[in-house]
Amino acid sequence: MLKSAKIQKQKRILRRKRHIRRRLRLEADVPRLSVNRSCKHISAQVVDDKTGRTLAAATTTAKALGEQLAGKTKTERAAVIGAEIARKAKEAGVESVVFDRGHSKYHGRVKALADAAREGGLKF
């Protein structure tokens, strides 16, 4: 990929991410469930934008979840992370959030994480 093509791709990703985040901040006063997806891993965190603090976080690179994630597909791993973030958020006293998918489409692993978080008790 040429250098200018990489820069253009990064600009498109950043523009999508900012557009979504701006809309979420205008609509809600509740914490934000932010999802970051890479080729191999997925991570989620519940962020309180008013104070700038992370209330709960879960990722596929965590050693504590190694046994649960072993031998699963990426979509199944995303579902495990969704259930874990819901559990940690409830422990932190968070019942409802707004879903921030970042620049990713609401499809596949991102959707599996969101569905598992809903089943875990988060409302969004």
| CATH code, domain carrying 22 | 3.30.420.100
Interacting residues of 112 by C-beta distance below 8 A, sequence separation 6+: 75, 76, 78, 79, 82
Q: What mean pLDDT comes out for the span 56-85?
A: 96
Domain-embedded: residue 124: no
- The pLDDT value recorded for residue 1 is 61
Q: What mean pLDDT comes out for the span 75-92?
A: 98
- Domain with 38, as residue range(s), is 3-119
> What does residue 44 show for φ and ψ, rounded to 5 degrees?
-140, 145
Direct distance between the N- and C-terminal alpha carbons of the chain, in angstroms, rounded to an integer: 38
Global pTM reads 0.90
Domain-embedded: residue 37: yes
Diameter over CA atoms, the chain: 47
- Classify strands 98-100 and 32-37 as parallel, antiparallel or unpaired: parallel
- Total domains present in the chain: 1
Domain-embedded: residue 51: yes
pLDDT in tens, 15-52: 999 999 888 887 778 999 999 999 999 999 999 988 88
Q: Reduced to 3 states, what is the DSSP secondary structure of residue 56? A: strand
